[in-house]
Homo-oligomer: A and B are copies of this chain.
Amino acid sequence: MASRDLAQMRKDALDIFRAGVQAVEPEAAVKQYCRREGNRLLVHQKVYDLAEFERIYVIGAGKAGAPMARAVEETLGDRITEGLINVKYGHLARLSRVKVTEAGHPVPDEAGLEGARAILDLASRAEKQDMVLCLISGGGSALLPLPAEGLSLQDKQDTTKVLLACGATIHEINAVRKHISRVKGGDLARAAYPATLISLILSDVVGDDLDVIASGTTVPDSTSFQDCMNIFDKYGIREKVPETILDHIRKGIDGKVPETPKPADPVFTRTQSVIVGSNLACVVAAEKKARSVGYHTLVLSTMIEGETREVARVHAGIAKEILKSGHPLSPPACVLSGGETTVTITGQGLGGRNQEFVLAAAMGLSAVPAQAGLKGREGIVVLSAGTDGTDGPTDAAGAVADSRTIERAQALGLNPADFLFDNDAYHFFEKLGDLVKTGPTNTNVMDLRIMLICCAQQ
Contacts and interface: CB of A to CB of B under 8 A. Distances in A.
Chain A interface: which size bin? 35 or more
A300 interface: yes
Q: In the assembly, how many copies of this chain are there?
A: 2
A303 B322 CA distance: 10
A339 B317 contact: yes
A299 to B, nearest CB: 4
Interface string A186-221: 000000000000000000000111111000000100
B299 A369 contact: no
Nearest to A335: B328
A324 B219 CA distance: 19
A335 to B, nearest CB: 9
A313 interface: yes
Contacts of A373: 208
A372 interface: yes
A298 B209 contact: no
B300 A310 contact: no
A306 interface: yes
A304 B299 contact: no
B169 A367 contact: yes
A246 interface: no
Contacts of A370: 211, 222
Contact of A369 (B207, B302, B305, B364): B207
A164 interface: no
Interface of A: 169, 171, 207-212, 219, 222, 280, 298-307, 310-311, 313-314, 317-318, 320-321, 324-325, 327-328, 339, 364, 367-374
